[in-house]
């Protein structure tokens, strides 16, 4: 997915930029980048690969070259960024987050108009450069951002660092969040509000869908008004978001606890303890224990000293090894116990099946899996919340192919918890993963737990209902 952080101040702000960006590291593991406008009137930039090291380790030695009063940072799960350009709009740096679905079409149009691409990523167009070229097609930043918002299909939020200000644009359906924080003489903008507290910022303003904000050290103003339609990604609360973060003023931990409590209070299985597949299942497991009125215990613990992040390598064999190595079972809590393990979702099912076998091998009497969201039936078209390149990487689609002869047939029935098709699919997944039982939350419970109207939440991966464009 990725995350953005920017800061502009009356004084040097590089410490805030460094730590504020670092507080988005849970959103991706491929690359990180910083850019600042320095006191000498030039832009400084650093980009590092984060696949084998943490953000702070990579960037600490670079900080001496950043000495400005404004800067932007990014944790990117795709392309190298920031990009720095010199254009008729002036010099600027840009960072982006999202997924552009019509890259090839936009690339052809820009090349036909005489534009050039220089920042290729593994031979592919860099979406941040693509966004920058769309913006520079305008007569002003406001005009260019309108062009980018109109032409990009999918999702793209971005921060622009100019010589005088930071311009922030939330994607037109608000699938990814942007929140402004404030302290004396300083403004910050972040994807995650968890970046604010330890740096002394208070939440000041939640940017609306499609809204564009210009910030300087004295304050901020709206230069393009927010649009009415909102489709914020529900997976922010289910999986991506840090427990202390809030989106649309709704806290992540509150939602996860509610999702667990709803499942627990309606659960019919005989269970001894509630536990979690850490980390994103932890808040839910505590809620499940409260709803079920059973103890919450750490039957599996994540080894955080060397496995601090939850994203996985793209190589399947390495991913399977990492999934095993980073989670340490607590044998004394497993032995002869009927355990409900809570997790955020099931994508392929491979890791969960392997984990269940390991836990049974350590003496667990029964393994019951409780999932905070509904089954994933559709790949994400807007944020790349999983690495799935094909619908058939989803365990649900593999079952539908086996049952229907086509993986995309009768999807509405498999997305509806009241149908026979849905119940048979869940039973198949339970047996495929060798579980004692398997329960998912319904879409209705998910929407209720978040607390926004359903038409203001993107639930595309569960029911295919969200609109694009």
Supply the CATH number for residue 364's domain: 3.40.50.2020
Indicate if 219 and 268 belong to the same structural domain.
Answer: no
Residue 264 lies in a domain: yes
Residue corresponding to tokens 């979406």: 127
Domain span at 447: 251-451
> In whole angstroms, what is the distance from residue 204 CA to residue 403 CA?
51
How high is the pLDDT of residue 310? Answer: 44
Residue corresponding to tokens 């039973």: 427
> In whole angstroms, what is the distance from residue 409 CA to residue 394 CA?
14
Q: Are strands 70-76 and 83-87 parallel, antiparallel or unpaired?
A: unpaired
Question: Which residues pair with residue 48 across a beta bridge?
Answer: 32
CA distances from 7 to 11, 25, 202, 221 (A): 11, 17, 13, 15
Indicate if 283 and 400 belong to the same structural domain.
Answer: yes
Indicate if 10 and 141 belong to the same structural domain.
Answer: yes
Say if residues 258 and 329 touch (Cβ distance below 8 Å): no
- The whole-number mean pLDDT for each consecutive block of 10 residues of the chain, a chain of 469 residues, reads 95 96 91 95 93 87 93 92 96 96 93 86 85 97 97 96 97 97 96 98 98 96 97 96 97 98 97 91 97 95 65 54 74 92 92 86 94 95 67 94 96 96 97 96 97 96 80
Collapsing DSSP to helix, strand or coil, 23 comes out as: coil
Say if residues 405 and 255 touch (Cβ distance below 8 Å): no
Residue 281 lies in a domain: yes
Asked which of 230, 261, 277 is the last residue of a domain, the reply is: 230
Pseudo-torsion of CA 83, 100, 243, 343, nearest 10°? Answer: -140
Indicate if 225 and 256 belong to the same structural domain.
Answer: no
Indicate if 322 and 206 belong to the same structural domain.
Answer: no
How high is the pLDDT of residue 51? Answer: 81
Q: Where are the alpha helices (DSSP H) in 93-220?
A: 103-112, 127-135, 141-151
Indicate if 216 and 257 belong to the same structural domain.
Answer: no
Residue corresponding to tokens 């254009």: 87
pTM comes to: 0.92
Q: What are phi and psi of 339, to 5 degrees?
A: -115, 130
How high is the pLDDT of residue 77? Answer: 83
Collapsing DSSP to helix, strand or coil, 116 comes out as: coil
Indicate if 266 and 226 belong to the same structural domain.
Answer: no
Indicate if 222 and 290 belong to the same structural domain.
Answer: no
CB atoms within 10 A of CB 317: 8
Maximum CA extent, the chain: 70
How high is the pLDDT of residue 322? Answer: 63
Indicate if 444 and 351 belong to the same structural domain.
Answer: yes
Indicate if 115 and 160 belong to the same structural domain.
Answer: yes
Report how many domains make up the chain.
Answer: 2
Residue 467 lies in a domain: no
């Amino acid at each position: 997915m990725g995350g953005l952080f920017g800061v502009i101040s009356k004084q040097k702000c590089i410490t805030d930029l460094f730590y504020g960006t670092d507080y988005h590291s849970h959103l991706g593991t491929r690359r990180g980048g910083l850019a600042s406008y320095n006191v000498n009137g030039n832009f400084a930039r650093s980009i590092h690969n984060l696949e084998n090291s943490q953000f702070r380790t990579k960037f600490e030695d670079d900080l001496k070259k950043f000495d400005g009063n404004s800067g932007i940072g990014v944790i990117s799960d795709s392309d190298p960024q920031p990009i720095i350009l010199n254009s008729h709009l002036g010099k600027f740096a840009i960072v982006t987050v999202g997924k552009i679905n019509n890259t090839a079409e936009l690339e052809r149009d820009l090349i036909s108009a005489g534009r050039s691409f220089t920042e290729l990523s593994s031979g592919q167009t860099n979406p941040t450069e693509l966004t920058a070229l769309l913006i520079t097609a305008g007569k002003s930043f406001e005009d260019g951002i309108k062009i980018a918002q109109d032409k990009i299909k999918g999702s793209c939020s971005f921060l622009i660092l100019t010589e005088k200000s930071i311009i922030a644009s939330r994607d037109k359906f608000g699938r990814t969040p942007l929140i402004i924080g404030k302290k004396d003489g300083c403004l910050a903008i972040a994807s995650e509000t968890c970046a604010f507290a330890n740096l002394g910022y208070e939440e000041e303003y939640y940017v609306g869908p499609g809204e564009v904000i210009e910030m300087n050290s004295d304050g901020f103003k709206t230069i393009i008004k927010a649009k009415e339609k909102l489709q914020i990604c529900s997976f922010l609360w289910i999986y991506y978001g840090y427990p202390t973060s809030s989106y649309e003023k709704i806290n992540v931990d509150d939602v996860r606890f509610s999702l667990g409590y709803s499942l627990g209070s309606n659960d019919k299985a005989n269970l001894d303890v509630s536990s979690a597949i850490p980390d994103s299942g932890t808040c839910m497991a505590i809620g499940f224990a409260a709803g079920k009125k059973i103890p919450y215990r750490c039957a599996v613990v994540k080894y955080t000293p060397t496995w601090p992040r939850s994203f996985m390598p793209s190589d399947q064999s390495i991913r399977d090894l990492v999934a095993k190595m980073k989670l340490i079972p607590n044998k004394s809590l497993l032995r002869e116990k009927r355990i409900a393990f809570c997790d955020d979702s099931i994508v392929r099912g491979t890791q969960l099946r392997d984990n269940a076998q390991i836990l049974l091998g350590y003496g667990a009497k029964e393994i019951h899996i409780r999932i905070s969201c509904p089954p994933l039936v559709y790949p994400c078209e807007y944020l790349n919340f999983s690495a799935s390149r094909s619908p058939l990487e989803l365990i649900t689609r593999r079952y539908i192919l086996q049952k229907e002869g086509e993986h995309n047939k009768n999807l509405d029935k498999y997305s509806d918890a009241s149908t026979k098709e849905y119940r048979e699919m869940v039973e198949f997944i339970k047996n495929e993963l060798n579980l004692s039982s398997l329960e998912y939350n319904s879409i209705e419970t998910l929407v209720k737990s978040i607390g926004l109207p359903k038409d203001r939440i993107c639930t595309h991966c569960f029911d295919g209902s969200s609109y694009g464009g």
